């Protein structure tokens, strides 16, 4: 599958510079970071959550995990779940399953970014396929997505060997 045309068309229409990077097939943002030999802090992942009858797209560093309690407080919801893949198919019909790009605004949902991402000069992220990502300045990403900011990500625990 190719990068969804709506992403490239939108960035081009906004005169936003970006670079498309092709990589070996990867199914996680951390896998993409490894494939491209970059830090998991520079590569971000998009997580789609639902709570109180609305969905939101949350952007955090690939090497971090969501703190659901903090995210619930930030979103001011009483219930919060990650959306199942069966629902993602309908929300992102032009993307590979599990290859959600962080442009929630193009798919009808609010974008929330953890402040640790907002501090980055540039970010890399999945471009809707398991073989392509986009690299761009965070400031340009913020300009086109108008994200809301919060603190809801934390370093993932190291795995035991």
Over the stretch 85-104, which tens digit does the pLDDT of each residue have? Answer: 888 989 999 999 889 999 99
Phi then psi for 31, rounded to 5 degrees?
-65, -40
Q: What is the pLDDT of residue 161?
A: 47
Q: What is the pLDDT of residue 140?
A: 97
CA–CA dist 12, 40 (Å, integer): 27
Tens digit of each residue's pLDDT (9 = 90 or more) over 101-134: 999 999 999 999 999 999 889 999 989 998 899 9
CA–CA dist 19, 63 (Å, integer): 22
Q: What is the CATH number of domain 5-153?
A: 3.90.960.10
Tens digit of each residue's pLDDT (9 = 90 or more) over 12-42: 999 999 999 887 666 666 666 666 656 556 7
Integer CA distances (angstroms), 112 to 34, 48, 58, 131, in order:
25, 10, 5, 25
Q: Give the DSSP letter string of 55-122.
A: EEEEEEETTEEE-HHHHHHHHT-S--EEPPHHHHHHH-TTS-TT---S-GGGGTSEEEEEHHHHT-SE
Q: What are the residue ranges spanned by the domains of the chain? A: 5-153
């Amino acid at each position: 599958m190719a990068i969804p045309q709506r992403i490239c068309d939108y960035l081009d229409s906004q005169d936003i510079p970006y670079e498309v990077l092709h990589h070996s097939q990867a199914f996680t943002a951390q896998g993409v970071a490894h494939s491209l030999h970059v830090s998991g802090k520079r590569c971000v992942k998009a997580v789609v959550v639902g709570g109180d009858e609305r969905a939101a797209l949350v952007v955090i560093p690939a090497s971090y995990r969501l703190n659901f309690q903090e995210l619930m407080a930030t979103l001011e919801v009483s219930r919060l779940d990650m959306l199942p893949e069966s629902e993602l198919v309908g929300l992102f019909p032009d993307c590979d399953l599990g290859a959600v790009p962080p442009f929630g605004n193009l798919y009808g949902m609010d974008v929330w970014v953890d402040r640790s991402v907002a501090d980055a000069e540039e970010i890399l992220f999945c471009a809707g396929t398991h073989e392509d990502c986009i690299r761009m300045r965070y400031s340009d990403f913020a300009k086109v997505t108008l994200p809301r900011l919060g603190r809801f990500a934390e370093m993932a625990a190291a795995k035991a060997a």
